[in-house]
């Protein structure tokens, strides 16, 4: 198993979009109260005094939408200037990047992933939950955010595409073509049953190999250089400036090479995205006065739990424990949505 040295840190569970694959439909989603979210000081304490000493050196800031957090630039600056941090990146929907890309870059952020699930404004509206009358302007603002991030100097600049059958799968070749003349890296992600189990049950997912075949049929495809810290299998269209990544968590299990854990906005450390076993509440212990050594011990227990999950589930495709939480039987349901977990 790879060394687990990569922590995805959710700054907030709220988002200014409501993407189909991230949040369920309806109005019953409960967001965290401000008092329940880790403060900047608490977050920095956990990273500096707990996570780094037990071996984490690579960090990604996520949400919800991380740019909704008012102190996001200050958080980036604080983490980027820790000498032990080898890599700091962020995943965002890009809507607020036109005004925040430069401050984030100045604060020390160099790598960014931007969600772009469609090049068609109407499809973008359908996926992101935008109102029809605002869909075009919201798509344009995201596109402007991508252009701004590129001009500022973010490299690599990655575009994340969650492929939903019957919704945006026909756009895969057009999205792949963005890499031909730009040094951008487009990553196609298989739709997962976290966040909207009903839609997943209706739609399912498109295996990455089918997507690769679409691209091979048009341009050909060759293996590319691995970039970043994630599980993507990287390819390149011959002669293209950028690369194509495929994250195949549904069709091609990669549990045995997973190197990441997740810290939610309310301080729960989660060993596995697809398995809710082994989570620990670091915020409660921190606020109760636990010592640094006690918090580090809790993280080491979670790391041990992750090792067991990775080894036991590596040959099973989707982990057998996925969906089990609080005594619930595995029925493909999760007690937290993708936005609440941090992606």
- Half-sphere exposure of residue 294: CA atoms within 13 angstroms, side-chain side: 11
Distance CA 310, CA 277 (A): 12
Whether residue 17 contacts residue 70, with contact meaning beta carbons closer than 8 Å, is answered with no
Q: Mean pLDDT, the chain, as a whole number?
A: 85
* 312 pLDDT more than 90: no
Decide if pLDDT at 330 tops 50. Answer: no
Neighbours of 121 (CB within 10 A): 18
Q: Over the stretch 104-139, which tens digit does the pLDDT of each residue have?
A: 999 999 999 999 999 999 999 888 886 544 555 889
Do the beta carbons of residue 214 and residue 195 sit within 8 Å?
Answer: no
Return the pLDDT at 253.
65
Are 82 and 48 in contact, with CB atoms under 8 Å apart?
yes
User: What tens digit of pLDDT does each residue of 198-248 get?
Assistant: 655 555 788 999 999 999 999 999 987 766 666 789 999 999 999 999 988
Which pLDDT band, with edges at 50, 70 and 90, does 324 fall under? very low
Q: Which of 91-95, 108-112, 296-300, 338-342 has the lowest mean pLDDT?
A: 338-342
Per-residue confidence (pLDDT) for residue 251, from 0 to 100: 74
| pLDDT classification of 194: cutoffs 50, 70, 90 | low
Helix axes 72-80 and 97-107, enclosed angle (nearest 10): 30
* Cβ atoms of 221 and 235 closer than 8 Å: yes
DSSP string, 67-124: GGSTTHHHHHHHHHT-TT--EEEEEE-STTHHHHHHHHHHHT--EEEEE---SSHHHH
- In this predicted structure, which of 28-32, 44-48, 49-53 has the lowest mean pLDDT? 28-32
- Take residue 278 and report the two structure tokens written for it: 């082994």
Collect all residues with Cβ–Cβ distance below 8 Å to 283 and sequence separation of at least 6. Answer: 38, 42, 266, 267, 268
**What residues are paired with 96 via a beta bridge?**
none
Q: What is the pTM of this model?
A: 0.87
- Residue pair 238/219 in contact (Cβ under 8 Å)? The answer is yes
d(CA 263, CA 54) in angstroms, rounded, equals 15
Task: Please tell me the distance from the alpha carbon of residue 34 to that of residue 54, in angstroms, as a whole number.
Answer: 28
Is the per-residue pLDDT at 314 higher than 60?
no
CA distance 148 to 94: 10
Question: The domain 6-341: what is its CATH number?
Answer: 3.20.20.70
3-state secondary structure of 263: strand
**Contact (CB, 8 A) for 110 and 99:** no
Which residue ranges make up each domain of the chain?
6-341
Decide if pLDDT at 42 tops 80. Answer: yes
With a cut of 50, say whether residue 322 has pLDDT above it. no
DSSP helix/strand/coil, 151: helix
Q: Report how far Cα 232 is from the mean position of its chain's Cα atoms.
A: 12
CA distance 327 to 306: 19
Among the residue ranges 173-187, 218-232, 307-321, the one predicted with the least confidence is: 307-321
Whether the predicted pLDDT of 328 surpasses 50: no
Banded model confidence at residue 334, pLDDT cuts 50, 70, 90: very low
Q: Are 58 and 229 in contact (CB under 8 A)?
A: yes
- Give the percent of the chain with pLDDT over 90: 62
């Amino acid at each position: 198993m790879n060394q687990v040295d990569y922590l995805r840190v959710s700054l907030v569970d709220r988002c200014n979009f409501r993407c189909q694959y991230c949040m369920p439909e309806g109005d019953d989603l409960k967001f965290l109260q401000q008092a329940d979210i880790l403060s900047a000081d608490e977050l920095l304490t956990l990273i500096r005094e707990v996570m780094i000493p037990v071996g984490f050196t690579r960090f990604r800031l996520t949400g919800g939408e991380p740019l909704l957090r008012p102190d996001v630039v200050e958080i980036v600056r604080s983490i980027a200037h820790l000498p032990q941090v080898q890599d700091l990146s962020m995943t965002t929907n890009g809507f607020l990047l036109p005004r925040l890309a430069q401050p984030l870059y100045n604060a020390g952020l160099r790598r960014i992933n931007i969600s772009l699930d469609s090049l068609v404004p109407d499809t973008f509206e359908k996926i992101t939950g935008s109102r029809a009358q605002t869909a075009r302007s919201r798509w344009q603002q995201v596109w402007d955010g991508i252009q701004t991030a590129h001009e500022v100097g973010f490299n690599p600049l990655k575009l994340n595409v969650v492929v939903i059958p019957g919704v945006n799968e026909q756009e895969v070749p057009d999205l792949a073509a963005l890499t031909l003349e730009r040094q951008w890296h487009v990553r196609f992600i298989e739709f997962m049953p976290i966040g909207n189990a009903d839609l997943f049950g209706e739609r399912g997912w498109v295996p990455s190999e089918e997507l690769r075949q679409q691209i091979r049929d048009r341009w050909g495809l060759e293996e590319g250089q691995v970039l970043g810290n994630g599980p993507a299998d990287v390819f390149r269209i011959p002669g293209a400036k950028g690369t194509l990544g495929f994250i195949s968590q549904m069709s091609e299990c990669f549990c045995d090479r997973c190197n990441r854990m997740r810290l939610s906005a309310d301080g729960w450390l989660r060993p596995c995205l697809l398995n809710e076993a082994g989570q620990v509440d670091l915020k409660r212990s921190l606020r109760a006065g636990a010592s640094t050594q006690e918090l580090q011990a809790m993280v080491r227990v979670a790391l041990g739990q992750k090792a067991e999950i990775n080894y036991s589930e590596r040959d099973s495709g989707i982990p057998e424990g996925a969906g089990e939480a609080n005594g619930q039987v595995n029925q493909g349901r999760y007690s937290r949505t993708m936005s609440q977990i941090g992606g």
